[in-house]
Homo-oligomer: A and B are copies of this chain.
Amino acid sequence: MDIITSKDNPRIRECIRLSTQKKARNNSGMFVLEGVKLLEEAVLSRIDIESVYITRECLESGKSELAVLEQLDRKVIEVAEAAAARLFQAKTPQGVCAVCHIPQREPDFGKKGRYLALWDVQNPGNVGTMIRTADALGFDGVILSEGCCDLYNLKTLRAAMGSIFRMPLLVTDMESFVRQNDNRLTFFASVVDADAPGITATEFPEGSVMMIGNEGNGLSDEQVSVCGNRVTIPMTGRAESFNAAMAATILMWEMSRKKNMERK
């Protein structure tokens, strides 16, 4: 196994750029993941891995997830302490990261499934959690506006727990996307408005898209109007509103529950 000792090694510097700079990721089509669990998820999801950097300590930790390293063979490179100290971005690094190719796996909209759409959702934890929930509920794809936070920053990856590797994803100009697809997909704008149709009473046709807006402002009137349909969570309690990820969870759950009831 090769070993890198210098913190100024060009491979280390390139890896840090990919970890921390969206521009570097966009230019190269590569991203970096950190942590043993995410590495395992990437291998299981057949993500194309370019190289793995790992500390001796992590290698010898005997974590079961590290069994995937055997499949990666010569791509695994040991990093000595000085290089490692600079390489990892997590607060408490696990001692392993991997440079990977960004997967190109767009949703199949002809399938007429259930889709989640995020319009300028900016918190990486929210975006990651929403993709994880969409994955858990068997959604067929997630569409993100160009104003959303980057999918491949370390916080989004961590919150999504591998779902970004499995879920078909499309980053696009949302307004054009909706306008171009309003014949074959039905868009539901989630709003906080007691007068909007309630989620439990709403029927979702095949090819429905649940649109979630920015955490602070929700969807603008214009964005709602582009979507055409509105839907809200009836609030029986006292909190001013759910947080964005909680609301998205309930909305997606209701879409899934109805789909499952139809099947029975």
Contacts and interface: CB of A to CB of B under 8 A. Distances in A.
How big is the A interface, by class? 20 to 34
A200 to B, nearest CB: 6
Interface string A241-264: 111011001100100110011000
Interface in A53-94: none
Count this chain's copies in the assembly.
2
B200 A246 contact: no
A136 interface: yes
Contacts of A240: 161-162
Contacts of A136: 235, 237-239, 241-242, 246
A108 to B, nearest CB: 15
A135 B260 contact: no
Interface in A148-169: 161-163, 166
A133 interface: yes
Contact of A139 (B161, B200, B237): B237
A242 B132 contact: yes
A137 interface: yes
Interface in A219-249: 234-243, 245-246, 249
A243 B166 CA distance: 17
Interface string A107-146: 0000000000000000000000100111111110000000
7 contacts: A134-B237, A135-B238, A136-B237, A139-B237, A162-B239, A162-B240, A246-B246
- Top 9 A-B residue pairs of the complex, sorted by shortest distance between their CB atoms: A138-B237, A136-B239, A138-B236, A135-B239, A136-B237, A249-B249, A137-B237, A246-B249, A250-B253
